[in-house]
């Protein structure tokens, strides 16, 4: 399962770097799916998700990302809450 997750996340990273993803159409579903994947116990998966979300934040409106992400701040999994805090801080830093 680790290899499948890493391959999928790495593919998404490459597509985002090459601007081959229609962010406007897929943005909400991408953000929600990536945030839910923060619950994975493997640190390497969570780090890859942070990288992918960082690309989404840079290529889109950070406020839009934060608006979706803030809904997960009360998630039952602490890995998800930790990742959300990191990403919201990233949104604030990029915006300035």
Can you give the pLDDT at residue 12? 81
| Residues making up the chain, counted from first to last | 96
Q: What is the pLDDT of residue 75?
A: 93
Instruction: State what percent of residues in the chain have pLDDT above 90.
Output: 36
Domain total in the chain: 1
7: phi > 0 → left, psi -120 to 50 → alpha, else beta; which? alpha
State the greatest distance between any 2 C-alpha atoms of the chain, in Å, as a whole number: 38
Domain interval for residue 32 = 2-95
pLDDT tens for residues 40-83?
888 998 999 999 899 888 888 899 889 999 999 999 999 999 99
Residue 96 corresponds to which tokens in the numbers above?
């300035």
Residue pLDDT, tens place only, 18-35? 876 666 777 888 889 899
Structural tokens at position 50: 């942070």
pLDDT given for residue 1 in this prediction: 60
């Amino acid at each position: 399962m680790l290899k499948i997750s890493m391959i999928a996340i790495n593919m998404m990273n490459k597509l985002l770097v090459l601007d081959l993803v229609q962010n406007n159409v897929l943005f909400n579903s991408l953000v929600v799916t990536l945030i839910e994947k923060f619950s994975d116990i493997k640190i390497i998966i969570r780090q890859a998700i942070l990288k992918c979300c960082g690309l989404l934040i840079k290529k889109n409106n950070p406020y839009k990302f934060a608006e979706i992400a803030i809904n997960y701040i009360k998630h039952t999994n602490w890995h998800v809450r930790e990742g959300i805090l990191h990403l919201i801080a990233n949104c604030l830093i990029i915006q300035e």
